[in-house]
Amino acid sequence: MTDRQSIEQAIRALEGLDQAAIDTSLAALRQWLVSVKSSKVSSSAMKGERRHVTVMFADISGFTAMSEKLDPEEVRGMINGCFERLGAVIDRYGGHIDKFIGDEIMALFGAPVAHENDPERALRAALDMMDALEEFNRQHANKIPKPLALHFGINSGLVIAGGIGTSQRQDYSVMGDTVNLAARLEDLSEAGEILVGETTHRLTAPLFEFDALKPVQVKGKAQPVRVYRLLKAKAVTGGQLRGIEGLYSPLVGRVQEMTELKQILSHFYDGQGRVISVTGDAGLGKTRLIDELNRRCVRDGRAQWVDGRAVSFGEEASYLITRDLLRNMLGLDLDSPAEIEEATLRAAVDQLLPDQFAETYPYLAHLLDIPL
């Protein structure tokens, strides 16, 4: 077991005890955990490198009003508790907290550790941070005179990443125009808003819904920049995730692979179940090949195609891909009202399994987080 795993296990064990008795222990463990995470930055990364990174600035408003009502020690505890919850979300999506600036968080997705989908991770983290803050407000409603609110600026692009500081002390961070624009977007955002730059929007448009705002003039830019307001995540149902939206180009080559897939599809149509595994290095066209199979399946009209995604940042969520498949099969959006979800699931179970409704519906409702 690694140092980090040992610390996280100890924290989970302590959190189940009396909170008042364990605050000191938890604080020490969490500080140790931060130091362990920070030590993961390699010496080579500290030397400086050019990287494509998604930068997030998140500002919390409402602490000033809180400080007027509460004792300074209580305010400090509330701020730390809030940052802790928000930081846990960033960590879950593979982000790196660069620094805390007053009541603001600067986080990086893509440095020091890069993932293929860092822009997506940043936006999903922002949405979940909104939810985490709402829960924090509910739990501390008796102490908070006015609910705390978040607003974000998120931008993707090239940065210089590495050690920044003096010869005596250097901290890992990033600098560049990408960082500056993310900070400007946060300044422009209002409470409850997540504003993103054009590059972030282009890289994530198939996965999220946005409002396109009027181009705005920001400090440091000669021309107005395009800005988008993030609304919500889409329920991905086999739409185009890569390439140019609305533009289809025929698949060239891959004759052997497509022949094998067509044969498997014909067996499936005959009622013989099959499992297909497509593996290969990044960039070889795995997604394109599956898209072509999807097109053929839809064109034949003999089967229903349902997508589910097993994403790395969802590894702690039980049955994630099963839930994704089921929601897409039922046509449920991620933010569908609870009454719509309940009615849709009831109708589907009643149609497909009328004799097993009593034992099947509660299980599926629990799986989809539909209240019973």
Q: Does pLDDT of 27 surpass 80?
A: no
Q: Residue 255 — φ and ψ, nearest 5°?
A: -65, -45
User: Within a 10 A sphere around the Cβ of 279, how many other Cβ atoms?
Assistant: 6
Judging by DSSP bridges, how do beta strands 149-165 and 194-197 pair with one another? parallel
pLDDT in tens, 147-205: 999 999 999 999 998 887 776 677 788 999 999 999 999 999 999 999 999 999 999 99
CATH domain 48-233 topology: Alpha-Beta Plaits (3.30.70)
Q: To which residue do tokens 């922002």 refer?
A: 126
Q: Where are the alpha helices (DSSP H) in 238-356?
A: 255-269, 286-300, 320-330, 338-352
pLDDT digits (tens, 9 = 90+) for 130-150: 999 999 999 988 888 789 999
Domain regions of the chain by residue span:
48-233, 240-304, 306-372
Give Cβ neighbours of residue 2 (< 8 Å, ≥ 6 apart).
none
- Percentage of the chain exceeding pLDDT 90: 40
> How high is the pLDDT of residue 4?
59
pLDDT digits (tens, 9 = 90+) for 210-259: 999 999 998 888 899 999 999 999 876 545 555 555 555 667 678 888 88
If one compares 41 and 295, the residue with the highest pLDDT of the two is 295
pLDDT at 89 over 50: yes
Q: Cα(289)–Cα(257) distance, rounded to whole angstroms?
A: 8
pLDDT at 38: 46
- Which pLDDT band holds residue 311 (cuts at 50, 70, 90)? confident
